[in-house]
């Protein structure tokens, strides 16, 4: 299951706002055993948005967008989604009910003249927004899903976690992955010594289990191995116990379990 995120907003590319949705989404997906395949950031520009959608749809099973579904003139996401899917914007009874409920929840008045929240592309599904006003949008086509959420971080996270992925489950999407990761945290030993002197074949040995990456930090090095399957915990404990030649290292699994050695 390949997943892609399109972040929409001039304010991000202008440097006025720092995107908080990607840093939340990537680890959240990892906890589900899933991974984010690609990310793009585009301006509030119809041509850029359409190009990003076409590319994402060509290579991913689930395409998420953040931003651009609000009430202002630069909120173009709904219009672009309609163009991309070859649909027309039209009034949707479910979208209208969601909007009325959201405004009532916040004790604010709403009418169709207030904004166009009740207008969505035909054949799209309007979804609840537990943290805001604008309905989310979902389009299911050819066993793929296109889902548009607000850019406000709280609204985005709640919609992904409480609305979008539960909906995908009910539609038969397999959104429970089997990705796992181990983190081998070393202390006081630089990268070049680990891979060049102490364990020159370590990288190649780890690649037999999954994708390897090395992240230096102030006190040592984190060696990460990401698996396609989470079956190899016991193999790791048996295979790499000899790494106790390192001064101190710890292996941590995605579920929080860990083991370590000290010399």
CATH architecture of 3-170: 3-Layer(aba) Sandwich (3.40)
In this prediction the pTM is: 0.78
CA-to-CA distance for 156 and 66, rounded, in angstroms? 7
- Higher-confidence residue: 199 or 240? 199
pLDDT at residue number 258: 52
CA-to-CA distance for 127 and 65, rounded, in angstroms? 14
Question: What are the extents of the domains in the chain?
Answer: 3-170, 180-262
Tell me the per-residue pLDDT of 114-150, one tens digit each, with 9 for 90 and over: 889 999 999 999 999 999 999 999 999 999 999 999 9
Q: Do domains 3-170 and 180-262 have the same CATH topology?
A: no
Phi, psi (rounded to 5 degrees) for 207: -65, -20
User: 35-44, 218-227, 247-256: which has the minimum mean pLDDT?
Assistant: 247-256
Q: Return the sign of the alpha-carbon dihedral for residues 255, 65, 12, 50.
A: positive
What is the phi-psi region of residue 9: left when phi exceeds 0, alpha when psi lies from -120 to 50, beta otherwise? left
CA-to-CA distance for 78 and 115, rounded, in angstroms? 13
3-state secondary structure of 204: helix
- The predicted model gives 178-193 an average pLDDT of 79
Phi, psi (rounded to 5 degrees) for 106: -95, 5
At residue 60's C-alpha, the angle toward residues 59 and 63, to 5°, is 130
Tell me if the domain spanning 180-262 has CATH number 3.30.70. yes
Structure-token match 């908080």, residue found: 20
User: 71-85, 136-150, 208-222, 246-260: which has the minimum mean pLDDT?
Assistant: 246-260
């Amino acid at each position: 299951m390949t997943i892609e995120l399109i972040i929409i907003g001039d304010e991000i590319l202008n440097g006025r706002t720092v995107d908080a949705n990607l840093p939340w989404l990537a680890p959240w997906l990892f906890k589900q055993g899933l991974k984010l395949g690609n990310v793009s950031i585009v301006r509030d520009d119809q041509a850029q948005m359409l190009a990003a959608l076409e590319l994402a749809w060509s290579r991913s099973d689930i395409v998420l967008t953040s931003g651009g579904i609000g009430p202002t003139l630069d909120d173009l996401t709904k219009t672009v989604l309609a163009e991309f899917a070859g649909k027309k914007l039209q009034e949707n009874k479910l979208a209208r009910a969601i909007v009325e409920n959201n405004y009532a929840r916040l004790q604010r008045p709403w009418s169709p003249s207030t904004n166009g929240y009740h207008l969505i592309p035909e054949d799209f599904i309007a979804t609840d927004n537990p943290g805001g006003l604008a309905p989310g949008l979902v389009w299911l086509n050819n066993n793929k899903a296109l889902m548009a959420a607000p850019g406000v971080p709280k609204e985005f996270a709640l919609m992904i976690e409480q609305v979008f992925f539960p909906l995908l489950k009910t539609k038969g999407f397999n959104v429970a992955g089997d990705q796992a990761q181990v983190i081998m945290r070393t202390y006081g030993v630089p990268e070049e010594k680990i891979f060049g002197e102490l364990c020159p074949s370590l990288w190649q040995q780890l690649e037999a289990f999954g994708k390897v990456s090395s992240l230096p930090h102030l006190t040592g090095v984190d060696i990460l191995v990401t698996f396609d399957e989470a079956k190899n915990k016991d193999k790791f404990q048996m295979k790499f116990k000899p790494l106790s030649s390192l001064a101190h290292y710890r292996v941590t699994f995605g579920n929080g379990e860990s083991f370590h050695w000290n010399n």
